[in-house]
A and B are shown apart, each in its own frame.
Chain A
Amino acid sequence: ILNVEQSPQSLHVQEGDSTNFTCSFPSSNFYALHWYRWETAKSPEALFVMTLNGDEKKKGRISATLNTKEGYSYLYIKGSQPEDSATYLCAWEDNYGQNFVFGPGTRLSVLP
């Protein structure tokens, strides 16, 4: 069983707070780690795809880091805004092209 886990399951923050959450995944046969933002009633939207150990990606106030040796990635949101409220999914892809596994997501609510 290939486990991709995310924590916390959900969190509530105040507008302006910075926050981060974690995705853990199998470190063997790693090919890529994806982060998606998924708003209710919409389809998931790609944020980042990372392939190299130590990768850091940034998009506006959102950034992500990758550690393939220990099998984790962090997603950071700086100065959270209500429009950041969504479920953030990570997905692990293996190097055989056979496994594409999503984590259960972290549901973020940003309170004004």
Chain B
Amino acid sequence: KQEVTQIPAALSVPEGENLVLNCSFTDSAIYNLQWFRQDPGKGLTSLLLIQSSQREQTSGRLNASLDKSSGRSTLYIAASQPGDSATYLCAVTQGGKLIFGQGTELSVKP
């Protein structure tokens, strides 16, 4: 059974800092891996999708990597801003459904 784990559970950084969020999964038979952003009480916004054959994807200040063989992904956020404060969720697509980690709650202090 696929398990997705994210560490740390929470992270607080000063504005401007670069940071890395981690995601691990137990079964490498995935179609893709996605990073989502969730603001309090809101829905899920897809940030980046990495296909199973890819190693990384970039969008603006965000860079996500995927190492399928070791079951790991990282989300790198450059030059963090207070507006980046949110919960970041990692999810893998397997068997027609998304399987989510528990998220990392990020707080960027001005």
Partners in one complex: no
Q: Which residues of B contact A (CB under 8 A)?
A: none
Q: Which residues of A contact B (CB under 8 A)?
A: none
